[in-house]
Structure 1
Amino acid sequence: MRNVYLHLCFVFCLIFPFISQAENGDEHMVLGMGIPFNYPFDRTVKWHIKELASGAVLKHGMGPIRKLLFEVPGTYQITIEEELNYDPLTCNHPQYPEEMTIEVSPFHMEFDFSTVRLSDEIVGGHPVDGQTLSIDVTFTAYGQDSLACEIQPFTSSGVGTTIVGVPVHREVTLYPGVNTITYRLSGQARSNSYLMFDFVDINNQVQVYGLPQKIK
């Protein structure tokens, strides 16, 4: 069951970008450059996508949006029209906001979880203070050769865990291709538990990694 749960979490993160609710009820999304946009609209929903800067309509259609790629970074707006059921015996509240805003970042940073390297094994009930975790990230940029940025710490989730990872070098310069980030660990975990680490990319989106082995 745990493997199924991790798989579903990973698939959800790939399919749906980071979504926040604006004060007016509209949704705001941040999407890394080169990441396809998907949204499970009902088949009867009509939508139009336009670039806010120019007002040009990028695409329009009905039903779910699947694997839509934005070729140019910027801010895009989705206008939504849905058919409401005015039968007084049924719920006729709209399912979707009237508008959604998509901010397409010129940068994309993907954590390669197959490269996770721990300096020592995490043992239940023992502090991990001073241990390190290294991971490779693939960085892509639109129209730039590099990016000076700040790497965010990662946190953990699981029963009885207090483990956090703080980057050894908080201020870094990322170059297109593979870059390595090293975190210094602190805290501890409970024995006989599974851990998940929440890494934050440069677009403030969370990418979740599940430690494959149970903590002894």
Structure 2
Amino acid sequence: MLYVVLGIVLITLFLLAYFCIGSAGRSTVLITGPCDAGKTSLLIMLAHKKNAMTFTSLIPNVEDYELRMKNLRKLKIVDVPGLEKLRFECINKQKANTGQDTAEYLFDLMTNATLARSRVPFLILCNKNDLPDAKDAVSIEQMLETELTTLCRTKANALAGLDGHKELRVPLVKKSGEKFLFAECKHHCVTFATCSVTSTDISPVRLWLERL
């Protein structure tokens, strides 16, 4: 099974999980999102319980994570680089600051037909909540719902892939014009949490992992 932790610069980390095929496969958790969201720091904290100086990742980082409440079952956690998102944000900082780019990134993940069929759960982690201008999870959830509602309307005719196969994407709302709500998302179970990786308090992440 694949799971996703999604990270947004100064806002959120996305965790995504996907179940591997076959009895020998281990569940995999992806930590993804824009650059500087704290993805690698979170990975190191989960695997080694310590802070470490990190740099922009060019290739995925992989660590094993041992669950405490499930007979020491192990997860494979993958930190997916966010360099491409950084380039985009440097070009359009105003758009990035409003959360539009974050919503577009999340929209691409949540409308992916393969992820939808697998009912992949998401943890949207509001990292760096120790900063003075940090938003709480409720505010971020509402902001993303507003942005995703707009994307559902503007991209309604673009859900089909470039080759015209509509099964490549799934709609987030039943009817055109409806407001998107995470609580009503039928393809993914989405959880919101806050933390500060630098303070070493990532208990919401560990709890979410134990519940997978």
More strand by share: 1
Which structure carries more helix by proportion?
2
Determine which structure has more spread, i.e. the larger CA radius of gyration.
1
TM-score relative to the length of structure 1: 0.25
Q: Which has the higher contact order (CA 8 A, sep 6+)?
A: 2
TM-score, structure 2 as length reference: 0.25
